[in-house]
Amino acid sequence: MKNISIEIPSLPDNIRIVESFVDNAKEKYALTDDLYGNIMIAVVESVNNAIVHGNKADKEKTVSLQAIMNEANIQFVISDQGPGFDSNDLPDPTAPENIENPGGRGIFLMKHLADEVSFSNEGRTVELTFYLD
């Protein structure tokens, strides 16, 4: 198992660091372009949610990001220091009353791009799993 990790202050501008992290993971783990695209979108969205919604862009709080590779999959674990949330109590962004809303699609996207998405630590940690086959 090979792991890489970073911890960043909760500033929206730090998304570029996350993009570089995913680029490095692509190189280190020799990821396919399709898998890389799905990972980039899902991980950036997850970290952005952690910064904006979890830590409320408080630069004193951090977001940690870890990539864990094994023979079958690559997993990204994103954690913030916010109050958490109930991942089972989210509005459906595809419902007619939510179609016009500009936000609310991040977790929906993550669930469609990753093979597995799970929340723990009262919603402060999300694990995105991508199968390698």
Percent of the chain with pLDDT over 70: 92
Q: Provide the pLDDT for residue 131.
A: 97
What are the pLDDT digits (tens) for 51-89? 999 999 999 999 999 999 999 999 999 999 999 998 887
Quick one: average pLDDT of 107-116?
94
Q: Residues 4, 25: contact at Cβ < 8 Å?
A: yes
3-state class (DSSP) for residue 92: coil
Quick one: average pLDDT of 14-20?
97
Q: Provide the pLDDT for residue 105.
A: 73
Residue 9 CB neighbours (<10 A): 16
CA 75 to chain centre: 10
Q: Provide the pLDDT for residue 120.
A: 97
